[in-house]
Every structure is written in C-alpha cells, then in structure tokens.
C-alpha cells in the first residue's frame, strides 16, 4: 500500500479476469463504492466494488481491464458511490455506455449528481397510475394501452423490426404529447449500423431535442452494458422527480444486458442458474424495472418500454420469463404478421397491458374504448380459430356469419394492425375499429352495448347504403 494522487493505493491484486479485479480484503470498503484504477503509465480508469468477501474484494472496471497487470495496477477507494452528473442540458445529447458525451458537443456541466443505482422507492409512496400515453399505434393505444408509470416490455424475435417500432414510438409520443414528454433511450450491445440508425432517426425527426440517448456498442467493454440502463434510469429519475417531467424510458436490448451479466458472473466463477445465467438474474432485472412509477405528492412519472429479444422465438427463455413476472404486461411482435409484410407486426392476442383499465378510464378517452377493444379482441381470436378450421374443411363448410368473421380478421390485420409509419389519433383508431365491426352480423357483437352500435355503426350502415 502507498499514498498517491488519489489517496491510499492498494496493490495486492490476486487476479484480473475480463472486466474484474480481485483484490485482497480491505477494511471499511462498501458494496457499490466508486474506485479509481491506475496502470503502470498512471492512466486512470473508473470502477466500482461489486462484492466484498472474506477472501477477496471484487471490482468491476468500467473501461475494461485491457492494459492492466497484477504487479503495476493500483486501486484507490473513494469512499463514495458511483454517481452521474445531471443537467437539463442533457436534452438533445448523445452519450456512450459509460455516460461520456459521444456527439462531439463537449461536456455537460452538472446541476446535480445522483447515484446510478438509484434510491429504493417505498411501495407505499407509489401513486396508482391513471393517465395513458398515446403512442399513435392502434394495436397499443386501443388494444394494450400504455399508462404513465407502467413498465410494459416489447418481446421481439431476431430479424423483426423492433428498432423501427422503438424509434416510431419515441417519435410519436413526443409529438402526441406536444413535446411535453421526454424520452430517455438506452441502447445496449448495438451494432454500428444500429447506432447510426438510432442517431439519424432521432435527429431527422426532431425527436432528439426532447430526448437523451445512451448508446453502447457491441465492441465496447462488457461492463458498460451493465451501466447503460442504470445511467438512463438515473437520468429519467432526475427529469421526473427533480424537474417534474413525464419520462418514457426505452431500453433495447435487455437480452444483451442479461448476457453481459452472465459473462461477468462466469468471470466471478459463480454457480450458474438456468441456461448459465446467474441465480440473482431476477433480482438484478428487478432493480432496473422497478425504477418506474409515480410518487405521491410529486410531479413527474417514469414509464418503461424495455425491448427484449426472444432467442429462437422462445417465450419461456429465462430473461423473457423473468421480465414477464416483474413487469405489467407485454407487447409481442409476431413473425407471422411480419412475413405478410404488415407493420408494426404487433399481435394483440398474446399481448397484454395489465394497467390498461386504469388508463382508459380517464376523461381523455372515449367511453366506448374498453368495449370496442374487447370486441375486436374476441372477434380476432375467433377469426384465427376459424382460419385453422378453414384450412382443414375449406370455406364451403362455413356459415355466413363465420365467413364475415373471416373477412373481419383479414381486414383487421391488413388495415388495423398494418398501419405503417403514420400515427393515428385515438379518434381515428376508434373510428376504424367501429368500421371493421360494421361488417359483422349484430348477433356476433356480444361485448358492446346496443347504444354504441346505434351510435357508431347504424350511421355507417346508412352512409354505406346511400353510397
């Protein structure tokens, strides 16, 4: 041990594996404590304490351990946790996975500093959500409404347009909110092409002015994929609970985050759990997902849309499975719809928003919203079953009402789900839904009241007869 520029230097390093340093035990060191690591050339790197054990202290190096060796490396403990400098000037800026500016516009001078691991939110302090966020996508707004303070993941598969959907949602929620809502976007383990795509789309659409981007490339140090969502959520907490703004956090791809967690766990030689992931995967994911919500007596909210890729379209994969347990529903992108050329390929049947009923009861939505959604869902489910039956017995074996439901299913996919890149207002989505129902016999509409049929569908039938 010696004293240097950063205080006491500890050099009794047992091993260096990947982004981890194993140091002999030191007194009064805390979990999560920020450290500075220097090499033989006095080049410094940041890090934090990952584990404090009887045999060793495990330190994760933010920039990776390249250039470090056991003899010349020195570790300095700061006595403080890792924090992120925050300011309103972060709006319109792009940062890398360690929180450093990546847009060439210089440093951000912080107004405040907050721990990147956040502060635990007492469940008693949470306020029940009741307002919805308009995404401009009918399959979400009508069928699986996103509510402020909710965490609603998007489950996707390899090759499906999840990035395009994410950017479209970010662009449209800013526009639909009158630029009152802020988007914090976190990309983890993305390719250079994806990096350019996100940067370009946010910039060209004008959404960047109301956004903060944290983009971690696939060839960046593994540890940065662990930091990226925490930096994004800390930024969201600053804007939500300090500045009183509504914030939507989009995180893609949480599978890359979990894989980075598995890689670090392997370097620590921990006993693996399901498919090699650490046994604490559920707890670790929850520390990120549970940072969404609304606090009683405070302005602002944090809503999360994490995007998770399903390997081989396997919805039982551990990361998907645990994400479903922690969050409040899921939006599922369907390969079958994508093959038909429909965009966005959101399948309403396995999708679910558990907080939907809280949001659509507000005065900003029409009273027929819930009943229309239920009826569209019921008919689409019935139509998909009839399509399977038709493949066996042929259309000749179907009755007139069943053929109408088949026609409804075809139109629902090609016109309602397949809306393209153009946003729809709530009124447009509702009107199109009633228009689709007008082609089905009244006896099949068991989930809507007669007053709504008379109000919306009778007028349409009269206009159609006049044409």
Q: Tell me: the pLDDT tens digits for 93-110?
A: 999 998 999 999 999 999
| Fold adopted by 85-359 | Rossmann fold (3.40.50)
The pLDDT of residue 49: 92
CATH class of the domain whose range is 2-81: mainly beta
pLDDT confidence tier of residue 3, bands split at 50, 70 and 90: low
Going along 258-388, which residue ranges are E strands? 301-309, 329-332, 352-353
Q: Which residues contact 382 (CB under 8 A, 6 or more apart)?
A: 405
Q: Is the dihedral of CA 185, 189, 193, 196 positive or negative?
A: positive
Q: How far apart are CA 398 and CA 401, in angstroms?
A: 8
Going along 279-416, which residue ranges are E strands? 301-309, 329-332, 352-353
Q: Is the dihedral of CA 197, 199, 202, 206 positive or negative?
A: negative
- Work out the mean pLDDT of the chain and round it to a whole number: 90
The pLDDT of residue 158: 93
Least confident among 277-286, 300-309, 322-331, 436-445? 436-445
**CA 193, chain centre distance (Å):** 20
| pLDDT surpasses 70 at 467 | no
CA triple 434-436-439, angle to 5 deg? 110
Domain boundaries, the chain: 2-81, 85-359, 369-466
Q: What is the pTM of this model?
A: 0.91
The pLDDT of residue 458: 64
pLDDT tens-digit series, residues 437-465: 988 988 899 998 888 888 887 655 555 55
What value does the mean pLDDT take over residues 304-309? 97
pLDDT tens-digit series, residues 377-427: 999 999 999 998 888 877 777 888 899 999 999 999 999 999 999 999 999
Going along 152-210, which residue ranges are E strands? 154-156, 182-190
Q: How far apart are CA 46 and CA 395, in angstroms?
A: 67
| pLDDT surpasses 90 at 359 | no
pLDDT confidence tier of residue 64, bands split at 50, 70 and 90: confident
């Amino acid at each position: 041990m010696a004293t240097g520029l950063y205080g006491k230097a500890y050099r009794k390093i047992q091993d260096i594996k990947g982004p981890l340093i194993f140091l002999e035990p030191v007194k009064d060191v805390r979990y999560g404590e920020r450290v500075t690591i220097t090499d033989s050339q006095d080049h410094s790197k940041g890090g934090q304490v990952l584990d404090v054990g009887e045999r060793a202290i495990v330190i994760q190096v933010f920039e990776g351990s390249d250039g470090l060796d056991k003899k010349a490396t020195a570790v300095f403990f700061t006595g403080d946790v890792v924090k992120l400098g925050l300011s309103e000037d972060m709006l319109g800026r792009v940062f890398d996975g360690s929180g450093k500016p990546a847009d060439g516009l210089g440093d951000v001078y912080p107004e405040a500093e907050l721990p990147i691991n956040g502060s635990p939110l007492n469940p008693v302090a949470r306020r029940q959500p009741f307002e919805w966020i308009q995404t401009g996508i009918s399959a979400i707004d009508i069928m699986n409404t996103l509510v402020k303070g909710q965490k609603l993941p998007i489950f996707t598969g390899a090759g499906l347009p999840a990035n395009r959907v994410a950017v479209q949602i970010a662009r449209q929620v800013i526009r639909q909110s009158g630029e009152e809502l802020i988007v914090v976007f976190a990309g983890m383990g993305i390719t250079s092409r994806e990096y350019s795509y996100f940067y370009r789309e946010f910039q060209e659409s004008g959404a960047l002015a109301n956004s903060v981007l944290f983009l971690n490339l696939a060839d960046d140090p593994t540890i940065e994929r662990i930091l990226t969502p925490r930096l994004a959520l800390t930024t969201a907490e600053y804007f939500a609970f300090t500045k009183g703004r509504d914030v939507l956090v989009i995180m893609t791809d949480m599978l890359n985050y979990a894989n980075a967690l598995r890689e670090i766990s392997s370097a620590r030689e921990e006993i693996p759990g399901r498919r090699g992931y650490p046994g604490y995967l559920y707890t670790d994911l929850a520390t990120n997902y549970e940072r969404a919500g609304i606090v009683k007596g405070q302005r602002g909210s944090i809503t999360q849309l994490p995007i998770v890729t399903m390997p081989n379209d396997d919805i039982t994969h551990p990361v998907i499975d645990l994400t479903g347990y922690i969050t409040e529903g899921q939006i599922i992108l369907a390969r079958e719809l994508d093959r038909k050329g429909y965009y966005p390929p959101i399948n309403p049947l396995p999708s679910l928003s558990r907080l939907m009923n809280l949001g659509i009861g507000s005065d900003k939505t029409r009273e027929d919203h819930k009943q229309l959604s239920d009826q569209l869902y019921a008919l689409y489910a019935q139509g998909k079953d009839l399509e399977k039956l038709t493949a066996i017995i042929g259309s000749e074996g179907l009755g007139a009402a069943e053929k109408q439901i088949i026609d409804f299913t075809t139109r629902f996919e090609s016109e309602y789900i397949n809306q393209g890149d153009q946003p729809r207002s709530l009124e447009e989505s509702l009107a199109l839904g009633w228009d689709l129902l007008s082609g089905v016999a009244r006896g099949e509409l068991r989930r809507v009241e007669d007053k709504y049929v008379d109000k919306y569908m009778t007028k349409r039938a009269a206009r159609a007869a006049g044409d």
